[in-house]
């Protein structure tokens, strides 16, 4: 594996090495990818988890028991998501942290969804990553066309971290198989037609052959919350 600098001050100097490691890990199992990142970065690695399903949290805590897993709580999450995250924490002994926004009572989602996501998602993530060097996400190529080129690992110039996407190559069938093998519980809203689960004001169930992310910001000219840009 290539030598990668691991200080926040010189991460950007390892761009070529990070890209090479990403190519080397293309066929690795998700647990191996997280293990590699943790061996490299130790506790400077954090995992953010939306808790739409249990796969990322299970993979991460299997690879590195006790690894920090963070739920970015916009304060507009479904009650079911809070319940589900707590269930998974108890069942799998997750080292779960809740990150809250600095804003408390504004209802910007009614008038300015970009501003709302910026205050309730992007800013807390920026704060979380300000002293981290690695960030593990659940982004997959199969999520959407806009994510089809997602690398296993990349330098995130905006946050100055190594962004690790251990599920990048997993198809929907791979995810379903992983859930069956490990008998993972389902988010309670999946049964009600929610295939991608975010905040309650901006998420609706999908129907028939609709794209699985089409229930997010439906009717709006928006497809990403700003975390994965
Ligand atoms: S998804 Fe909607 S409610 Fe959640 S932070 Fe973004 S605009 Fe606000």
Sketch out the chain's domains with CATH numbers. 11-202 (3.40.50.620)
Residue 204 is predicted with a pLDDT of: 84
Answer whether 202 contacts ligand 1 (Cβ < 6 A): yes
* Centre of ligand 1 from the C-alpha of residue 113, in Å: 6
pLDDT given at position 196: 83
> Does residue 200 line the site of ligand 1, with CB under 6 A?
no
pLDDT by residue for the chain (229 residues), tens only, comes to: 888 888 999 998 999 999 999 999 999 999 999 999 999 999 999 999 999 999 999 999 999 999 999 999 999 999 999 999 999 999 999 999 999 999 877 788 888 888 999 999 999 999 999 999 999 999 999 988 889 999 999 999 999 999 999 999 999 999 999 999 999 999 999 999 888 899 999 888 888 777 776 766 666 666 666 666 6
- The span from the CA of 113 to the CA of 115, in Å, is 5
User: What's the whole-model pTM score?
Assistant: 0.93
pLDDT of residue 104: 75
Residue 225 designated active-site: yes
The residue behind tokens 């699985």 is 212
Q: Is 116 in the pocket of ligand 1 (CB under 6 A)?
A: yes
From the number of C-beta atoms within 10 Å of its C-beta (0-12, 13-18, 19+), residue 183 rates as exposed
User: Partners of 195 in the beta sheet?
Assistant: none
β strands within 133-184, DSSP E = 134-136, 153-156, 161-164
Per-residue model confidence (pLDDT) at position 145: 85
**132 contacts 46 by C-beta, under 8 angstroms:** yes
Distance 117 CA to ligand 1 centre (A): 5
172-181 and 55-63 helices, crossing angle to 10°: 60
Catalytic residue from among 49, 116, 202, 225: 225
């Amino acid at each position: 594996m290539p030598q990668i600098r691991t200080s926040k001050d010189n991460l950007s100097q390892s761009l070529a090495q990070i890209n090479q490691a990403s190519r080397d890990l293309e066929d690795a199992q998700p647990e191996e990818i997280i293990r590699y990142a943790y061996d490299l970065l130790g506790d400077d690695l954090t995992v953010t988890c939306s808790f739409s399903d249990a796969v990322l949290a299970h993979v991460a805590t299997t690879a590195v028991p006790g690894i920090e897993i963070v739920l970015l709580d916009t304060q507009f999450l479904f009650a079911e998501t809070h319940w589900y995250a707590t269930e998974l924490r108890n069942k799998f002994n997750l080292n779960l942290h809740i990150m809250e926004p600095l804003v408390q009572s504004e209802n910007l989602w009614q008038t300015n969804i970009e501003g709302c996501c910026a205050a309730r998602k992007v800013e807390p993530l920026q704060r979380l990553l300000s002293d981290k060097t690695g960030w593990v996400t659940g982004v997959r190529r199969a999520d959407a066309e806009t994510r089809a080129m997602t690398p296993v690992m990349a330098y995130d110039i905006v946050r100055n971290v190594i962004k690790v996407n251990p599920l990048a190559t997993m198809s929907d069938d791979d995810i379903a198989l992983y859930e069956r093998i490990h008998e993972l519980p389902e988010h309670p809203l999946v049964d009600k037609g929610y295939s991608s689960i975010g905040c309650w004001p901006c998420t609706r169930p999908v129907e028939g052959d609709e794209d699985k992310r089409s229930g997010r910001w439906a009717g709006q000219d928006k497809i990403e919350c700003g975390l994965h840009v």
